[in-house]
């Protein structure tokens, strides 16, 4: 995992999340832009400064594969959660990512009109799966609700607003910026291509913990082990189609991937560290 530390100022990330999910007037939008200017824009500028230009899509794929191989080696936090965490500690991590599970993929939609038609279709195929092809029982947020229910955790999104950490809010907020305000949509394509490709390995940790702890509603994780192997291919298709229609800045794909890898890795490590304090 690359080291990208969010720079929160107290609850500014929570505030940004609530603003991102509300109907905006011009004052709200100005506030969102101010909060993002103080946080995400310096992160992206720093990554861009440290990233030598990529020559094209093939190099992007090489870099992505190397990052995934590195992450596949695992982490101390992942090993702990998979092999040692108690049910209470695991439930803490599930609670921490509830706002993600309960709003899953909703913040991807604004990217669609920014893509050429054939790339739209590939991303839409991902989105259709995220929403269970219109079947409530299959939609990923419902799978998360089932997991929350088994662990005795609340079902309402509002119940998690005060328990979610800044690190997790930063990971959630980044997609609102990527889809709606990043000047170039390649940042979003690179970030989502990374995310879909990383989850089949990343979620083996939680799937293992569920199996070990006898949690039966772990399908949220096992479904992702399956479906994201297709989604990673769809995102490669989306990127190819984007390039065919408009040309491609592969460096921006890679900056987007590094940005998301840092934010999600930081959120996961922080969540597990806090869960360990429960012991
Ligand atoms: Fe999903
Ligand atoms: Fe997915």
Mean of all residue pLDDT scores within the chain:
95
Could you count the other beta carbons within 10 Å of the beta carbon of residue 277? 8
Backbone angles phi, psi at 102, to 5 degrees: -80, -15
The whole-angstrom distance between residue 74's C-alpha and the CA centroid of its chain comes to 18
For residue 19, tell me if it sits in a domain. Answer: yes
Token look-up 């020559």 returns: 55
Answer whether 123's CB lies under 8 Å from 108's CB: yes
Asked if the structure places residue 1 within a domain, the reply is no
Residue 205: the pLDDT is 98
Instruction: Answer left, alpha or beta for residue 78, where phi above 0 means left and psi between -120 and 50 means alpha.
Output: alpha
* 119/242 Cα distance (integer angstroms): 6
- Ligand 2: distance of its center to the CA of 65 in Å? 18
Q: What is the pLDDT of residues 72-116, one digit of tens each?
A: 999 999 999 999 999 999 999 999 999 999 999 999 999 999 999
Of the pLDDT bands very low, low, confident and very high (cuts 50, 70, 90), residue 11 is confident
Q: Which residues contact 100 (CB under 8 A, 6 or more apart)?
A: 168, 171, 172
**pLDDT tens-digit profile of 248-275?**
999 999 999 999 999 999 999 999 999 9
Average pLDDT over residues 114-134: 98
Residues ≥6 apart with Cβ < 8 Å to 27 = none
Cβ neighbour number for residue 217 with a 10 Å cutoff: 16
- Provide the phi-psi class of 133: left if phi over 0, else alpha when psi is between -120 and 50, else beta: left
**Domain residues for 258?**
12-277
129 CA distance to ligand 2 middle (Å): 7
Looking at the CA of 102, name the nearest ligand.
1
Span 22-36, mean pLDDT? Answer: 96
pLDDT-derived band at 2 (thresholds 50, 70, 90) equals very low
Please indicate, yes or no, if residue 38 is contained in any of the structural domains. yes
Residue 3 has pLDDT above 70, yes or no: no
* CATH code of 199's domain: 1.20.910.10
Residues 129-138: pLDDT tens digits?
Answer: 999 999 999 9
Mean pLDDT of 8-28: 88
Instruction: Give the whole-number percent of the chain exceeding pLDDT 90.
Output: 96
Domain presence at residue 153: yes
Q: How far apart are the first and last CA of the chain?
A: 26
Is 160 inside any structural domain?
A: yes
* pLDDT for the residue 4: 44
On the question of pLDDT at 10 being above 80, the answer is no
Statement: residue 225 has pLDDT above 70: yes
Query: Is pLDDT at 128 greater than 80 in this prediction?
Result: yes
* DSSP structural state of residue 52: P
- Cα separation, 36 vs 136, in Å, equals 34
State the Rg of the chain over Cα.
18
Is residue 7 in some structural domain? no
Q: Tell me the ligand closest to 194's alpha carbon.
A: 2
- The verdict on residue 3 lying in a domain is no
Q: How far is CA 272 from CA 24, 75, 167, in A?
A: 34, 11, 12
Domain count within the chain: 1
Give me ligand 1 centre to Cα 104, in Å.
6
Distance 227 CA to ligand 2 centre (A): 6
Residue 25 forms part of a structural domain: yes
> Are 198 and 180 in contact, with CB atoms under 8 Å apart?
no
By the 10 Å C-beta count (0-12 exposed, 13-18 middle, 19+ buried), 106 is classed as: middle
pLDDT one-digit tens code per residue, 38-83: 999 999 999 999 999 999 999 999 999 999 999 999 999 999 999 9
């Amino acid at each position: 995992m690359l080291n990208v530390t969010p720079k929160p100022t107290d609850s500014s990330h929570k505030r940004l999340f609530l603003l991102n999910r509300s109907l905006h007037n011009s004052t709200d939008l100005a506030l969102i832009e101010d909060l993002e200017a103080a946080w995400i824009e310096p992160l992206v500028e720093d990554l861009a400064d440290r990233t030598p230009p990529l020559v094209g899509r093939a190099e992007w794929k090489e870099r992505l594969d190397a990052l995934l191989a590195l992450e596949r080696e695992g982490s101390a936090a992942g090993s702990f959660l998979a092999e040692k965490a108690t049910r209470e500690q695991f439930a803490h991590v599930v609670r921490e990512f509830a706002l993600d599970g309960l709003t899953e993929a909703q913040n991807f939609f604004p990217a669609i009109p920014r893509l050429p038609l054939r790339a739209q279709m590939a991303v839409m195929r991902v989105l259709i799966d995220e929403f269970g092809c219109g079947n409530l029982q299959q939609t990923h947020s419902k799978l998360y609700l089932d997991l929350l229910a088994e662990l005795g955790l609340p079902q309402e999104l509002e119940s998690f607003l005060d328990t979610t950490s800044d690190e997790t809010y930063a990971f959630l907020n980044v997609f609102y910026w990527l889809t709606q305000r990043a000047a170039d949509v390649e940042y979003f394509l690179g970030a989502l291509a990374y995310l879909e490709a990383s989850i089949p390995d990343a979620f083996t940790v939680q799937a293992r913990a569920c199996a070990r702890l006898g949690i039966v509603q772990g399908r949220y994780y096992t479904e992702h082990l399956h479906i994201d192997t297709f989604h990673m291919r769809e995102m490669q298709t989306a990127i190819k189609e984007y390039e065919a229609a408009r040309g491609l800045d592969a460096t921006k794909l890679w900056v987007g991937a590094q940005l998301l890898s840092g934010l999600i890795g930081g959120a996961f490590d922080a969540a597990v560290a806090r869960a360990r304090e429960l012991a």
